[in-house]
Amino acid sequence: MRQTNLESRNKVFLGSFVHSKVLDELEYLHQTAVFVDKSGTIVAIEKDCDESKARETVLPRLGWAEADVEVVKAKEGQFFFPGFIDTHIHAPQYPNAGIFGSSTLLQWLKTYTFPMEASLSEAAKARRVYTRVIRKTLSHGTTCAAYYATIDVSSTNLLADLCMGFGQRALIGRVCMDSELSPDYYRDASPEASIAATKATIAHIRSIDPAFSLIRPVITPRFAPACTLPLLRQLGALAEETALPVQTHISENKPEIALVQELFPRSLTGAADGSYAAVYDAAGLLKPRTVLAHAVHLTEGEADLVAARGAKVSHCPCSNSALTSGAAPVRRLLLDRGIVCGLGTDVSGGYSASVLEAARQAALVSRHVAFGPGGQERDKLGVEEVLFLATRGGAEAVGLGDKVGGFEVGMEWDAQLIGLGAIREDGEEEEVDDEEGGGGGAGNVDVFGWESWPERVAKWVYAGDDRNTIKVWVKGRLVHQRK
Amino acid sequence: MRQTNLESRNKVFLGSFVHSKVLDELEYLHQTAVFVDKSGTIVAIEKDCDESKARETVLPRLGWAEADVEVVKAKEGQFFFPGFIDTHIHAPQYPNAGIFGSSTLLQWLKTYTFPMEASLSEAAKARRVYTRVIRKTLSHGTTCAAYYATIDVSSTNLLADLCMGFGQRALIGRVCMDSELSPDYYRDASPEASIAATKATIAHIRSIDPAFSLIRPVITPRFAPACTLPLLRQLGALAEETALPVQTHISENKPEIALVQELFPRSLTGAADGSYAAVYDAAGLLKPRTVLAHAVHLTEGEADLVAARGAKVSHCPCSNSALTSGAAPVRRLLLDRGIVCGLGTDVSGGYSASVLEAARQAALVSRHVAFGPGGQERDKLGVEEVLFLATRGGAEAVGLGDKVGGFEVGMEWDAQLIGLGAIREDGEEEEVDDEEGGGGGAGNVDVFGWESWPERVAKWVYAGDDRNTIKVWVKGRLVHQRK
């Protein structure tokens, strides 16, 4: 399946734009025009610009014929926002979202996760589930997702094909796991078999998107306990050789950490110490292109090591609460260590495919860090900060910080149009017109009219859902529109 | 405004019914019929009963003419569930939902809350906001809410009138506050003025619903620091004299607790000790009809006292996280002390008007209790337990445990019809037909078809929203239908 990536016309987006400048600051651009060329790249941003000014002044400068331009306007109160980056999501686990009982990580893997993942070697089931995941995450404004697939090559390739077809930017990882932690029915036969299968998915992705312009492969050791040391080392070598990104899990819960220390003693790895991070480092997997999911319980020394190697962290608050893993001190990783962090839904350790829900939970969980042992006021993440993590932070984490996550000339147009509900004088909700997705109302964000822009954005973060995401574009292409 | 409480026909509800039996157990009744008479009371529940059996066997037994009966069927996969009880919600604060910045309780009251509440003395604004709150909470399946209004008598009475008109069961509390904690512009002039104003709202409610069959007054000292000791004592006496329920806040955050200890020393109150709970007890406010919101930081001695007095607790997890108050050890209050607990949205300390969101957050926050200091596995609340709190627990907390919260003969029909999304073989969502609220799809609960009933309910708890609440009834009357 090949994607028709380039739509035929240049585009002008008009109205209000909101995006992150730095961690704790959003920029609000009103009466602004953003010009996106046929390749999906932002070529101009003009403040104080309405449609006539755009047509009369900017189009001639860009050499764009009027007939060749599509104009997309945000209505009063609506705004364009960068698409969300989900830095950690397991596509095959989606049918289990919300189903985890009272389990914790290792038990949850065996009870719920491995059986579901293994069952997706059946092509029809994989197509059904992956179609649903992509459509669902797009509807929540996820323009880029770092996916874990399964160990199965053909269904992993199918996930890549489907992302290409639906137009979602994605990192696609075939899951590598050859240790006896995994059941017999769901495990790579050997390190060599694991490497060969990984190379097969890399080759497939290269065949459908040679420049990796939308889809790129990501080397994906599941997590240390699921891999033998030879496999970890060979994956480290493969990452070095291919310059591809790497994703894995680290320090999610305490029994897992104890297991790593048991399985990978210093005497085996030759690592500087017996820590979890040192195992990855010794295998050549701790690099600037590495995304480490969770990082809930990093020691001070591990945080130093992760920072020194320039590896990135995917914070997954929904999952960490649901599986009783812990509360990651994200703001300290960000500010004290300078570690780049993004947000992950971690479906289905996380119960929701929405990055907005992950942002909301990041703010709430950070308050638990603040009133927890050793916590401080400065551990609290604000609305601006969680939105930064959901966009710029995530983009940088997956190695796309120069391409997406904000509105800048030279970046690509990965964006969502956000609309909030308006409350009439009689207390009823303003009707949403059909053109932009009528039914079901505007969701749970109720704007009375006196709220400032930052207050409206706060309402969106705390009460918003996919009903507020009216349209979604990736690389300039419209990939979702609310029904 | 008088309510037309009784609809003209008897009703038969057919299909699947799910409700709590005990704290950790849901009962699933399939192919069942529930018969509700014109007064809204459940008069029969028949298992293994379809429409013909209901018509042929049960209607004659009940002496109901066929023409006089409305039949409401849950479709395959849908189920009836008891309406939610919100045991703690501040109606006037609704416009501030999601707006709290990084503030904590005392600062939040002054910055956001008092100005908003005071502004609702303007009748048009009060009507607009209260209309919205009632319509919004009904749409989320809240069939009964324990409301705090403001200090203003006429807008408090308006809230009662509007609940009556929309058909939402409610406890309506005029807020009592006469201490200097409150600003000059928003405070009762004296204890006597506070009592007189409270009596005025009680008289008004008696005038519109003499038997308190749908709307009842609740004596509402805001919280100890907002009241003088004379006012607390007079409210205790009023509660004794009228046998009305009481609602207030307790031990929400640590600076508040320190303030109570400073304002109400033993030497002043004559209490058994200087604790927060003892202040209420000394004023005669700690009774079986009392609902205490939050109870995050109760000492062992206070928990004993609350249990001994039979007072109830409203657990407000969204608010406790948002305002950095703490994590209440709810399961210990329930199991170790036998304290009756319900859930509160605590809008707008809580950011959401949804009791389902409160249930979800109760489960998540309980996991933070479990991995927090001194926490244990047994601190975790399961899906069944949070749904019990949202229905039976809440009903008992607000003194309606014999009337609502479950499906039993003799109880009143306060219920919601729940529908989940179904995923087709091609991975797209099954269309929702127009009759039951078409647009916007079925929300974020995706059922693939292989899930067990408990798994479907878990998906609803973790991913559901108002889109899954198709219809809502209070006392047999249809009060909300999804658009």
pLDDT in tens, B155-176: 999 999 999 999 999 999 999 9
B402 belongs to a structural domain: no
Closest residue of B to A462, CA-based?
Answer: B98
| A18 and A93 co-located in one domain | no
CB contact under 8 A, B373 and A372: yes
Query: What tens digit of pLDDT does each residue of B187-241 get?
Result: 999 999 999 999 999 999 999 999 999 999 999 999 999 999 999 999 999 999 9
B4 belongs to a structural domain: no
| A172 and A290 co-located in one domain | yes
B2 belongs to a structural domain: no
The model's confidence at residue B6, banded by pLDDT at 50, 70 and 90, is very low
Q: Which of B128, B423, B426 lies closest to A427 in CB terms? A: B128
Q: Which of A364, A482, A483 lies closest to B321 in CB terms? A: A364
**pLDDT value of residue B441:** 63
Task: Write out chain B residues lying below 8 Å of A354, CB-based.
Answer: 444
Of chain A residues 178-207, which have a CB less than 8 A from chain B? none
Helical (H) or strand (E) element with B474: strand B469-474
pLDDT at B8 over 90: no
Closest residue of B to A434, CA-based?
Answer: B439
Short-list A213, A293, A218, CA closest to A253: A293
Q: Where are the beta strands (DSSP E) in A377-450?
A: 415-418, 421-422, 446-447
Task: Write out chain A residues lying below 8 Å of B450, CB-based.
Answer: 95
| B475 and B342 co-located in one domain | no
Give the residues across from B10 on adjacent strands.
Answer: B69
pLDDT at B345 over 60: yes
A431 at the B interface (CB within 8 A)?
Answer: no
Query: What tens digit of pLDDT does each residue of B424-434 get?
Result: 999 999 887 65
- Best of B133, B444, B450, B480 to substitute, by most chain A Cβ atoms within 10 angstroms, is B444
Q: Is B34 left (phi over 0), alpha (psi -120 to 50) or beta?
A: beta
Helical (H) or strand (E) element with B73: strand B69-73
**pLDDT value of residue A7:** 54
B128 at the A interface (CB within 8 A)?
Answer: yes
A334 belongs to a structural domain: yes
Burial-class residue A165 by CB neighbours within 10 Å (0-12, 13-18, 19+): middle
| Residue A93 CB partners (closer than 8 Å, separation 6+) | A112, A113, A116, A117, A347, A348, A349
CB contact under 8 A, A351 and B483: no
A2 belongs to a structural domain: no
| B120 and B263 co-located in one domain | yes
End position of a domain, from candidates B372, B397, B422: B397
Q: Looking at residue B43, which CATH number applies to its domain?
A: 2.30.40.10
Q: What is the ipTM of this complex?
A: 0.97
- Write phi, then psi, for B454 (nearest 5 degrees): -60, -35
End position of a domain, from candidates A397, A419, A436: A397
CB contact under 8 A, B326 and A438: no
User: Helix, strand or coil for residue A422?
Assistant: strand
CB contact under 8 A, A446 and B102: no
User: Helix, strand or coil for residue A418?
Assistant: strand
Q: Looking at residue B327, which CATH number applies to its domain?
A: 3.20.20.140
| Crossing angle for the helix pair A229-242 and A191-208, to the nearest 10 degrees | 30
User: Regarding beta strands A312-315 and A290-294, do their DSSP bridges make them parallel or antiparallel, or are they unpaired?
Assistant: parallel
CB contact under 8 A, B437 and A437: no
Q: Which ranges of chain A have pLDDT less than 50?
A: 1-6, 437-440
A437 at the B interface (CB within 8 A)?
Answer: yes
Q: How far does B135 lie from chain A, in Å, by closest CA?
A: 8
Instruction: Domain count for chain B, please give it.
Output: 2
Q: Is B167 left (phi over 0), alpha (psi -120 to 50) or beta?
A: left
Task: Write out chain B residues lying below 8 Å of A440, CB-based.
Answer: 437, 439-441, 467, 482-483
B28/B14 Cα distance (integer angstroms): 13
**pLDDT value of residue A4:** 46
pLDDT at B5 over 70: no
| B273 and B371 co-located in one domain | yes
Query: What tens digit of pLDDT does each residue of B81-114 get?
Result: 999 999 999 999 999 999 999 999 999 999 999 9
**pLDDT value of residue B434:** 52
| B294 and B350 co-located in one domain | yes
B1 belongs to a structural domain: no
The per-residue pLDDT of chain B, averaged, comes to 96
B271 belongs to a structural domain: yes
**pLDDT value of residue A123:** 97
Query: What tens digit of pLDDT does each residue of B185-201 get?
Result: 999 999 999 999 999 99
- Best of A93, A137, A462 to substitute, by most chain B Cβ atoms within 10 angstroms, is A462
B382 at the A interface (CB within 8 A)?
Answer: yes
CB contact under 8 A, A128 and B423: yes
**pLDDT value of residue A2:** 41
Q: How far does B219 lie from chain A, in Å, by closest CA?
A: 27
| A48 and A109 co-located in one domain | no
Short-list B172, B240, B176, B175, CA closest to B208: B172
pLDDT at B7 over 80: no
A357 at the B interface (CB within 8 A)?
Answer: no
**pLDDT value of residue B438:** 44
Q: Which of A102, A132, A437 lies closest to B423 in CB terms? A: A132
| B381 and B475 co-located in one domain | no
**pLDDT value of residue B433:** 64
**pLDDT value of residue B431:** 82
Sign for the pseudo-dihedral over CA of B104, B107, B109, B115: negative
| A285 and A329 co-located in one domain | yes
| B261 and B294 co-located in one domain | yes
End position of a domain, from candidates A370, A397, A424: A397
Query: What tens digit of pLDDT does each residue of B121-130 get?
Result: 999 999 999 9
Q: How far does B463 lie from chain A, in Å, by closest CA?
A: 6
Cβ neighbours of A98 (radius 10 Å): 27
User: Regarding beta strands A341-343 and A312-315, do their DSSP bridges make them parallel or antiparallel, or are they unpaired?
Assistant: parallel
A3 belongs to a structural domain: no
CB contact under 8 A, B322 and A97: no
Domain housing B37: 10-82+411-481
| A348 and A440 co-located in one domain | no
| A21 and A71 co-located in one domain | yes
